[in-house]
Structure 1
Amino acid sequence: MSEAAFADILSVQLPGATVFQEVYYKDPASRQWSENDTLILIDDLLFLVEAKAGAAATIASPALDFGRHAQSVQDLVIKAYKQCERFFSYLNSADEVPLYRRGDGKYEECGRLRRSDYRVMLPIGLTVESFSPFSTFCKDLTQVEPLLGKHAFVSLSIDELFVLKRFLPTPGSFAHYMEVRQVVAGIRRALLFDEFDHLGAYLKKNRFDQDLAGELKGGQEKMIIWDGMSEIVDKSFEGEDWEGRPFPTQDFPEEVQKLLEALDATRTRGWLLAESHIRDLGDDGRKNLAKMLSDVRPSLNRHPSRYFILFGDGEPLFVWLQQSDHKIDWNKVNAKASAAALAVNASNVIAVVAEVGADGTYRRAQYFTVHIPTARTEENAQIYEDAVRMAQPTRAMHLNLPKNASPRVKTKKPGRNDPCPCGSGVKYKRCHGR
């Protein structure tokens, strides 16, 4: 099997990725040279792919010798897992590690890698044949633990990659699915039959890992099996005209979809993190974001920039909208984002700057890091003063503060007939006061 299959099939989902084939390194434990098949680096995601042919498993037919077949599949998965485990241990052996290529019997350094650069690290075992449900059930084997205690192993087949390619056509959608898929791979006793069940659950429920974890939270259920989730996937291939029909996708309001498309078109560092955060939102969160964007964006006709922050159960989302023909004042952007974070008592914020044309088109969008001060000083006093003003309902027209927010500064709650502080123009009782 070609070691490049993963990157070749998913070339559209992995634009501009750095791909290493046949990566060599010196195992710190054995001091021997070891090899991995494919290492893919894109933005802050790392994919380590171990390709295995399943000849032994196919020789042993499950109909004739079920035990031997099951053991062969298990051995196949475990072998790929062990190779990934060895490489992840190598990554963890130093802050930065060298990578090597082998040529003419010599090992030459071809790159260096810092695990701290990657938010998501995905070890994947790739097979020619699909061995469901054995491959998806292997996560319950005692030998298969999340690598370095947090990076769960995922087993996929080449055929499954072709389906994922069709249903997850953008880098952001594919990356987010794989993030969720990895979380599910780390949840023992929560089983889905094959990759198409996982894909169907994602299309229907988005963060279906949270649903599974919730069902197991009580501790009484020994095992949860979800069945029939692949129906939405299976039906897409019915009929002779299936290739001409659009495949099901998750729903996003048009305004949010445009922002995602701008992030994908710009692709600066951190774009997949920003997309992941937005894609994490449920239906209400996506609608709230769309409403804030559509309410604030038209006001750029009167102001060179506008901003707001969405605050909920997870990390807040700070959005700065800028007229595309005005230069971005990054000092001002960072100061406002820091103040907004203080106003909603956030320890971390996902922040996006979007440049908007006169016709309302999102020209560019990019993620940026927000530095939130932990103590007031003479240098950052203005940020703290700005945070106090933002937390006041009369000055919070840019700020979307839901009922469960806890500002650092105590403020008076608006009356039910007062304008909502989120700036929607609707009475508080009909907006965030409901």
Structure 2
Amino acid sequence: MSDSANNPDVTSPDPLLTEPELVTANDAVIPPPSAPQGRRAAAAFIFFTVALDMLALGMIAPVLPRLIESFLHGDTSTAAQMLGLFGTVFAVMQFFFSPIVGSLSDRFGRRPVVLLSNFGLGLDYLLMAWAPALGWLFLGRVISGLTSSSIPTAMAYMADVTPREKRAAAFGMLNAAFGIGFVLGPALGGILGNVNPRLPFWVAAGLSLVNGLYGLFVLPESLSHQNRSPFSWKRANPVGSLSLLKHGSMLAIAAVLLLGYIAQQSLMNVYVIYADFRYHWTTRSVGLSLATIGVFTIIYGGLLVKPVVAKLGERRTMIIGLIGGALGYFMFGVSKTGIIFWLGIPFLNMMSFAWPSAQSILSHKTSPAEQGQLQGAINSLRGIAGLIGPGIFTYIFSKSIGAEAIIHIPGTPFFTAAAMLLIALMIARRVDDKPAQQHHTDAASPN
């Protein structure tokens, strides 16, 4: 048996994981062969890792408030405050540790980071399932924010094993994995939580640990040693990692992503209370609408991103996604009945075209040794949105309803989100989606 089969952390590029372009003497480029079975298996593992991570997070979402409340003897007001604190701490951990984890994967490879995250997340859920006091539960949430920071490494892994022209489709598949967790997680968590509020934590722990054990056998390393870069705190801190995005089109795309992530916070923070206030929806109706959003995320990300990008290109696909998202948010805000709100969901989910296209363009403009730092920087943008978005949209909603409202328009938060996407659209139209020439040279060179 070969050394690469015995040692997954090989020193030479794995032929199952790389698809180099062959450059002839007259500079003619021979396209790489179709993806080998080994590479597809590794990519499938990353897909399921992301899906299981999101499934686990979704499973604990319906029961975490109840568990917090149980520690506070039914004090709902204090429980709501603690839940907000838990969410803020999670976002802070993502913001600070995503670039660190991404840079570590650039230094030591993707495989150890992904596997350690799986095992760390599993042990963390065991801690939260066992937690005898609120302080232990809070500690578990802090750790989960750290261990969930492996998502950028999963994205970097996909960039490593996917040719440039197929990266948007690969990122779209990971978006579909998010959708699967978004749909199935809360539903499964609600069923298990009715049995015992701690049961979803035990199941989430089991899923993460089993997936980690499976990865020990099937997941090879994707980053060759010659494409690794030294770890640097200057690049690993959030500000340093974001400096990677400060040049030209990369800065423009970073602005598009940040505006899109902030707009998305309107869904996470006022969607439920808005539907209850304006349409008097039951919990069942809200759950079905959220599940519908997840289903369209799966359809767009898993089935449609690839052919649309192949037909229109990444920049145009990103623009179409922004237009659809802005229209969907506008329909949410203008709808006086639930019907138009429901019809807005397919348009809103066209943002599933924008995310992978933007990430793919950024990936093209980044060297193989910086993919982890790049994905960490992108996740830091999500962290920034998670820190400032909730306050913005909850404040806007509070000032658009009630006797003391500044403007009596309940849909103002969604109009604000639509305006953010329109600004992002104007920026996106100026984006250059051509790969950086020096990165072409790096990718083609055997060194």
TM superposition score normalised by structure 2: 0.23
Normalized per residue, the structure richer in strand is: 1
Structure having the higher Rg? 1
Higher relative CO (Cα under 8 Å, sequence separation at least 6) belongs to 2
Normalized per residue, the structure richer in helix is: 2
TM superposition score normalised by structure 1: 0.23
